[in-house]
Amino acid sequence: MLKIITGTIVGLVLGALIALGVASQMAGSMMFQERVSPFTVEETVARIQQNILAAGNGWALFGLRYPARPVEAEGGNVLPVMLIEACSVKYSGPILKDDKVRFLSLLMPCKIAVYKKSDGKVYIGIMNAGLIGKLFGSMVGETMADVVRDQEKFLVMDPTKPAPPMVIPKVGEGGGGGAGGSAGGC
């Protein structure tokens, strides 16, 4: 009888450890999504920016960051990385008004990373807003489901259309030239 109980306990512990190992290996691919772009980093950024500005739903550009620049300034040699920052007051407003989920302002504005890897390809990286939203209740879950639908539109790029110019949001102008933005960002 003791062997059966011991075997059961050992089996449960081993099963739990294996499940935790699998979950930790998959967590990154579940929380973040990556796809290849057929364009250069700059052209991909410009096309995504154009799509954000055309999306409606209160979306506006709030920033364009170059995280590789400080590394390069210190003498490092890194491949290009650009972060597009966008926000929609339609989606951020309800979250910012609710004390229980206001800490999610850490995720605002939404960021889309465009970067080159050593394989020579350009990639687009986004956070899995739908999965994150489900972790924080129905209001946030529904809001983030709407964000996901809009983000998918941001990433549709027609190669037959000419590339638009890149938008460089001005410092201190929350809207960065986008319709529906408000000064100061989300």
Q: For residue 53, give both structure tokens.
A: 């500005």
Q: Is 120 within the bounds of a domain?
A: yes
Predicted confidence at residue 18, as pLDDT, reads: 60
Q: Is 97 within the bounds of a domain?
A: yes
- Rounded CA-CA distance 168/175 in Å is 11
Domain holding 173: CATH number? 3.30.310.70
Q: Is 11 within the bounds of a domain?
A: no
Domain count for the chain = 1
Tell me the mean pLDDT per 10 residues along the chain, length 186.
67 57 53 95 97 93 93 92 95 93 90 97 94 89 92 94 89 45 44
Q: Is 100 within the bounds of a domain?
A: yes
Predicted confidence at residue 176, as pLDDT, reads: 40
